[in-house]
Chain A
Amino acid sequence: MAVGTGNIWRFPRIVASNGGGSFLVAWVVFLLLWSVPLMIVEFAFGKRAGRGAVGAFEKLAGRGSGWMGGWVALCATAIMFYYSVVAGWCLRYLWAALTGELERQGAEPFWSGYAGSPAALLTHALALLLAIGVVWFGVRGIERVATLLIPSLAVLVVILAIRAVTLPGAVRGLEFLFRPDWQALGDVRIWLQALTQNAWDTGAGWGLILTYAIYMRAREDVPLNAFLIGFGNNSMSLLAGIMVLCTVFAINPGARDEIVGAGNEGLTFIWMPQLFAQMPAGRVFMVLFFLALSFAALTSLISMIELASRILMDTGMPRRRAVGWVTGAGLVFGAPSALSLDFLHNQDWVWGVGLMLSGLFFALGARRFGLERLRREVVNADGCDLRIGRWWNFLVAVVVPVEAVILMVWWLWEARGWDPGGWLDPFRPESVGTVLLQFGVALVALVGVNRWLGRRRPVEVD
């Protein structure tokens, strides 16, 4: 459920540019100090409230807290708008790999001609409609598709990783990935990058898990599910890291720095096809790679659409009408990202930082409900095989909020250096100014409609 393109294209790049083995140590630490505690909160909120993000905060964190759930929903929905563009890219590349178009044209000219063109608008619509087609049929539709796609994705990544480690020279990729540099652990950037990567890998704090938890059975085990998703998700990231880095080191070790520095799109849509083209039976593996990427993108897109639809359904709207509204919004608001890479990067930057605020709101919401009460009544409810101790209260009350605040401040501080002359300019794609402007507008609007949110979802007394 939580495996997305970030596991496949971002993890290998970030681990390669942040010290390899040392980064992995910090990344595993944050699985336990950020992702798993927050996923437990999300599961508990969804299961207890039986409502989407807005209704769950209003019901559990107390009257007047709906705006925090609104923020969570807004972030995930804003990401959904441009994520369907990315899913469209994956589908287009899958088709181009299948037909041999990608090899004939060359990866770089293909990317330059496609990204930001009207063709990208069409593939954005196609990806959105495919995902909507699943959500339209409700939870059973999602369950059936996930049962097919997620194991298939795992099998594909395993096949690709096995192929990569058996290439001549692949061991240099493994050495690079796992070589520890203990001094690097003294560098705060490694820790912050590791925390960011784990947060984006697992999707903890996005509200997606909360949405699926609404449909959990009463005796379903919250801690076991949270640990299972966290470990399963990071297992896929590790496999993707092995797959990409072994391929890079086996095929073109000389271009290593250029490849890992090429950004998510550069690595995936320009370098990987070129590397596959030089590999024996490379076209087959190129097709499998883009098939895996398409599966990852579609499963994530489906969960984001379900989240947005659920918010509307909580107001009493029938599922299909809610899904229709989300489709319309996705088509319209995703279009600028399909036609402009600058716009897409802007949205990715702004709402990526926004997710850290979402994580903070989950921690604050859980504190308002009462962590000990949530732990006893929901997390460790009857039927649980795995029990969570009081350490979780401390992590959610103290560690997660501190991590969220440090991360947000650090990323904004970093952004000053990317564009020293225009970091406060709200119209630059990746500036501090654009984050402050869009956050400001969104927060003012959410607080403004907070009373309305409360009226629409009356708080029930348990």
Chain B
Amino acid sequence: MSAAAVALMVLVAGFIWGGFVLLLARAVRCEANKSGPGERVPGGS
């Protein structure tokens, strides 16, 4: 595999997969910080 292809693979896959993992970790942490199930939006039952 050429160096350019490896570099682009690291950049694109790193951005997309790395971004997803970081966002997922953030979502899990936020969910843990919220107490209780929380109320739903009025009208959105």
* Interfacial residues, chain A to chain B (CB-CB below 8 A): 21, 24-25, 28, 31, 46-51, 171, 174-175, 177-180, 214-221, 224-225, 227-228, 231-232, 234-235, 238, 383, 385-386
Contact = CB atoms under 8 A, between A and B. Distances in A.
Contacts of A49: 43
Contacts of B8: 21, 24-25, 178-180
A336 to B, nearest CB: 35
Given A235-B17, A238-B16, A386-B26, A180 B4 contact: yes
A228 B23 contact: yes
B31 to A, nearest CB: 9
A28 B16 contact: yes
A220 B30 CA distance: 9
19 contacts: A24-B8, A51-B43, A175-B1, A175-B5, A177-B9, A178-B1, A179-B4, A180-B8, A217-B38, A217-B40, A218-B41, A228-B23, A228-B27, A231-B19, A232-B20, A232-B23, A234-B16, A238-B13, A386-B26
6 pairs of A and B residues whose beta carbons are closest in the complex: A50-B43, A217-B38, A50-B44, A231-B20, A178-B9, A178-B5
B29 to A, nearest CB: 8
A303 B4 CA distance: 40
Nearest to A139: B45
Contacts of B27: 221, 224-225, 228
A312 to B, nearest CB: 16
A66 B19 CA distance: 36
Contact of B44 (A178, A216, A228): A216
Interface string B3-16: 01110110011011
A21 B5 contact: yes
Contacts of A50: 41-44
Contact of B30 (A31, A174, A218, A385): A385
Nearest to B40: A217
Contacts of B2: 175, 179
Contacts of B16: 28, 31, 231, 234-235, 238
B20 A218 contact: no
A389 to B, nearest CB: 17
Contact of B12 (A47, A178, A217, A227): A178
B40 to A, nearest CB: 6
